[in-house]
Amino acid sequence: MRDSSQKKKTISQMFSDIRKEYDFINRIISFRSDRIFRNIAIKKVTHLERVLDICAGTGDMTISLLMKKSFKGRVVLCDFNYDMLSLADSKLQKLGLRDRIDIVIGDAEELPFKDKSFNAIIMGFALRNLESIDAFGLESKRVIDGKGKVVLLDVAHPENRVVAFMFHLYFYKIAPILSRFFTKNKYAYQYLPQSLKTFYNQKDLISKFKGLGFTKATYQNMLWGISAIYKLRR
């Protein structure tokens, strides 16, 4: 990681610390809805061939994509954290999918790829961790080709008041307590909900991406906005 800031180092260390329980806690605190949302997100790129999974972590977005019979392409997994990518590597080996992927260590805000290298970018649950959405957006636009698609899935801000109230109670209060039963790292599961509090809402994020020059930028709420899928076109 070149010129990495303190925030990036702290985040990367946090993911190293929780890597072993990361998948398990995701399933528990999301009641497995993360899997459903991932499947909906990746459907938008199954017809494409060269896909980049940015902030790939333990590889769950890539696995969802490669498990789709209609997807015949290859995926490059990119993340700045070696430990998370090592887990992705072993999971993909066990599933017999290792020959359809490449793994690259790199920063989402300074991607180590040539211009127009990919037909699509996917990203799961990582937008809130980025230091600069501007840098990420511009880099994504640079590495996809003319018809390239960017599909980003993340936890979001519910737009219905009742759902927002219940979600806030669960996500900010109950989920961090639940997580403590499964990890010694209290900081991580306090940080993750806090990172949403200060993050853009869906409409603001779409305006941000349009401002970065994407010709199309739309979002689709999952369960009234507890998560959202953002679709961008170069």
Ligand X SMILES: C[S@@+](CC[C@H](N)C(=O)[O-])C[C@H]1O[C@@H](n2cnc3c(N)ncnc32)[C@H](O)[C@@H]1O
3-state DSSP assignment of residue 27: helix
Q: Which stretch binds ligand X (CB under 6 A): 9-17, 160-168, 209-217, 221-229?
A: 9-17
Q: Per CB under 6 A, which region of 105-113, 169-177, 194-202, 225-233 contacts ligand X?
A: 105-113
Question: Of residues 18, 108, 217, 228, which one binds ligand X by CB under 6 A?
Answer: 108
Query: Of 128-167, which residues contact ligand X (CB under 6 A)?
Result: 129-130
Q: Which amino acid is it at 173?
A: K
d(CA 95, CA 148): 28
Confirm or reject binding of residue 63 to ligand X (CB under 6 A): no
Confirm or reject binding of residue 56 to ligand X (CB under 6 A). yes
81 binds ligand X (CB under 6 A): yes
**Per rule CB under 6 A, count of chain residues that contact ligand X:** 21
Closest distance to ligand X from the beta carbon of 126 (Å): 4
| Alpha-carbon gap, residue 34 to 39, rounded angstroms | 9
Residue 100: both structure tokens together: 């359809």
Q: 82-94 vs 6-29: helix axis angle to the nearest 10?
A: 40
| Closest by CA position to 19, among listed 64, 85, 104 | 85
Residue 61 within binding range of ligand X, rule CB under 6 A: yes
User: Binder to ligand X among 76, 84, 228, 229 (CB under 6 A)?
Assistant: 84
217 belongs to the binding site for ligand X (CB under 6 A): no
- C-alpha distance from residue 114 to each of 18, 67, 111, 117 (Å): 32, 27, 8, 6
Could you tell me which residues are beta bridge partners of residue 118?
A: 144
**Is the CA virtual torsion 203, 207, 208, 212 positive or negative?**
positive
Q: Which of 75, 126, 217, 226 binds ligand X (CB under 6 A)?
A: 126
Interface residues with ligand X (CB under 6 A)?
8, 11-12, 15, 55-57, 60-61, 79-81, 84, 107-109, 124-126, 129-130
